[in-house]
């Protein structure tokens, strides 16, 4: 345990966020704080995260949907944990954990209540749903002592929405919630023989130009536009493939039946489902296509850049902070099939300015995990400066 015995509690809604999106961060912070992790149990996954990060964990059942009775139970459980553990800092991440964690920490009198914003579902919401989500954000930020949007675009958005006073908001470092593990995402880990064999296993020809998409197969990731654009692009370029890496979430934000059918019936679209290790798919691809409607600071784009491949992204916060148009990729308007089709054709026929080595170097210089972890620690330490 660290000598100063200060205690930090980190909370996410599900354990995959605690141990995946924030991988390595809790172990790093354990050098300076007694760290406790909280999320839903996830069928034992939380316990695995505790072992992975070397921390104590508490399971608290939280849902990603609006479930008033379950939410009240989770709020009460969190409050009791905070009163028992007496943390110096509670730092939440993901929407539901943020709202419940900040409310419980406020009621329990935790001195430093921090919340990271990493994408806002309300950006695509309208009507009554938007009003409810706006209220929830104001409630979350009102209970927090400081809020960290994980991109400068998000920072601008939440300030414009006047969810809280501007002094409550700041971006850590250059953005991102956890940075990128530059040793793990390294194209040199995959030699030409591996790539040739892996391509062959997916029925990809040696001369095929391969686009890859990594993410949830849902509407607001731009999958419908991507599939339509790919089909249009293939009318001009026959030697291309599209790999879709990610699981379907048919209950939360399903893609259209037409898009589902196009994916299933098109031999040039390879849907491989959720994958624990996405690096091989980046290694055999020529470009990432990621036309998402909204993001915080997209890990997928960071991963692609660190693997040295260019990206086509939507002109949204996070994406347009990582991709510099014509240098390490192309930026297109949101939901614009024509522009996306044009960009795909452009990447096939025209070289962008930066080499794979230069694309990777930009990530190493600005978003390495070591740098981001240190910047977060600096923010924590500043809280205790009298």
Do 320 and 331 touch, CB atoms closer than 8 A?
Answer: yes
Which pLDDT score, from 0 to 100, does residue 172 have? 96
Rounded Cα distance, 99 and 58, in Å: 18
Which pLDDT score, from 0 to 100, does residue 386 have? 63
CATH class of 187-366: alpha beta
* Mean pLDDT, residues 274-303: 95
* Mean pLDDT, residues 264-281: 96
User: Are 7-179+368-382 and 187-366 the same fold in CATH?
Assistant: yes
pLDDT > 70: what percent of the chain?
99
Token pair for 13: 């809604």
Among 124-138, 270-284, 340-354, the least confident range: 124-138
From residue 100, alpha-carbon distances to 67, 120, 130, 174, 327 in Å are 12, 16, 19, 28, 42
Which pLDDT score, from 0 to 100, does residue 190 have? 98
Q: Coil, strand, or helix at residue 298?
A: coil
* Mean pLDDT, residues 290-307: 94
Round the average pLDDT of the chain to a whole number and report it. 94
Q: Where are the domains of the chain?
A: 7-179+368-382, 187-366
Rounded Cα distance, 280 and 199, in Å: 10
* Mean pLDDT, residues 145-155: 94
Render the burial of 62-96: b for 16+ CB within 10 Å, e for the rest.
beeeeeeeebeebbebbbebbeebebbbbbbbbbb
Do 115 and 147 touch, CB atoms closer than 8 A?
Answer: yes
Taking 80 as the threshold, does the pLDDT of residue 3 lie above it? no
Taking 80 as the threshold, does the pLDDT of residue 359 lie above it? yes
Which pLDDT score, from 0 to 100, does residue 248 have? 85
Q: Is 268 exposed, middle or buried (0-12, 13-18, 19+ CB in 10 A)?
A: middle
Which pLDDT score, from 0 to 100, does residue 296 have? 80
Do 298 and 222 touch, CB atoms closer than 8 A?
Answer: no
User: Residues 104-113: pLDDT tens digits?
Assistant: 999 999 999 9
Do 211 and 344 touch, CB atoms closer than 8 A?
Answer: yes
For 385, residues 6+ apart whose C-beta sits below 8 A from its C-beta are: none
Enclosing H/E stretch for 201: helix 192-201
User: Residues 46-93: pLDDT tens digits?
Assistant: 999 999 999 999 999 998 887 889 999 999 999 999 999 999 999 999
Which pLDDT score, from 0 to 100, does residue 4 have? 61
CATH number, span 7-179+368-382: 3.40.50.2000
User: Residues 183-212: pLDDT tens digits?
Assistant: 999 999 999 999 999 999 999 999 999 999
Terminal-to-terminal C-alpha distance of the chain: 24
Taking 80 as the threshold, does the pLDDT of residue 144 lie above it? yes
pLDDT band at 132, cuts 50/70/90?
confident
pLDDT band at 2, cuts 50/70/90?
low
Which pLDDT score, from 0 to 100, does residue 66 have? 79
Which pLDDT score, from 0 to 100, does residue 44 have? 85
User: Residues 224-263: pLDDT tens digits?
Assistant: 999 999 999 999 999 999 999 999 877 778 999 999 999 9
Taking 90 as the threshold, does the pLDDT of residue 120 lie above it? no
Taking 80 as the threshold, does the pLDDT of residue 119 lie above it? no
Of 67, 153, 140, give the one whose Cα is nearest residue 99. Answer: 140
pLDDT > 90: what percent of the chain?
87
* Mean pLDDT, residues 298-318: 96
The pTM assigned to this predicted structure is 0.85
* Mean pLDDT, residues 259-275: 96
């Amino acid at each position: 345990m660290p000598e100063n015995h200060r205690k930090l509690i980190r909370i996410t809604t599900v354990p995959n966020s605690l141990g995946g999106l924030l991988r390595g961060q809790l172990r790093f912070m354990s050098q300076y704080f007694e760290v406790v992790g909280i999320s839903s149990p996830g069928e034992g996954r939380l316990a695995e995260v505790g072992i992975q990060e070397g921390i104590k964990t508490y399971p608290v059942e939280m849902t990603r949907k609006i479930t008033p009775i379950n939410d009240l139970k989770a709020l009460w459980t969190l409050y009791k944990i905070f009163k028992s553990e007496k943390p110096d800092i509670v730092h939440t991440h993901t929407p539901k954990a943020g709202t419940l964690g900040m409310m419980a920490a406020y009621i329990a009198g935790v001195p430093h209540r921090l919340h990271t914003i990493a994408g806002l579902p309300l950006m695509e919401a309208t009507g009554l749903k938007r009003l409810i989500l706006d209220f929830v954000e104001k409630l979350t930020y009102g209970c927090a002592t400081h809020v960290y949007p994980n991109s400068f675009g998000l920072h601008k958005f939440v300030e414009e929405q006047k969810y809280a006073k501007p002094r409550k908001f700041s971006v850590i470092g250059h953005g991102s919630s956890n940075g990128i593990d530059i040793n793990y995402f390294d194209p040199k880990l995959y030699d030409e023989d591996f790539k040739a064999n892996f391509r062959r296993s997916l029925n990809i020809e040696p001369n095929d130009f391969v686009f890859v998409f990594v993410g949830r197969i849902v509407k607001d990731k731009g999958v419908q536009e991507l599939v339509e654009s790919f089909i249009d692009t293939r009318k001009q370029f026959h030697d291309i493939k599209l790999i879709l890496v990610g699981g379907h979430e048919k209950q939360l934000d399903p893609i259209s039946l037409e898009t589902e059918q196009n994916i299933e019936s098109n031999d040039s679209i390879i849907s491989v489902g959720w994958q624990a290790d996405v690096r091989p798919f980046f290694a055999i691809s020529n470009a990432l296509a990621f036309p998402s409607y909204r993001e915080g600071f997209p890990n997928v784009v960071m991963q692609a850049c660190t693997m040295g491949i260019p990206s086509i992204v939507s002109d949204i916060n996070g994406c347009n902070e990582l991709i510099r148009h014509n240098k390490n990729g192309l930026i297109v308007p949101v939901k614009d099939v024509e522009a996306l089709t044009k960009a795909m054709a452009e990447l096939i026929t025209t070289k962008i300015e930066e080499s794979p080595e230069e694309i990777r170097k930009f990530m190493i210089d600005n978003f390495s995990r070591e740098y981001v972890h240190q910047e977060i620690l600096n923010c924590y330490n500043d809280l205790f400066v009298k």
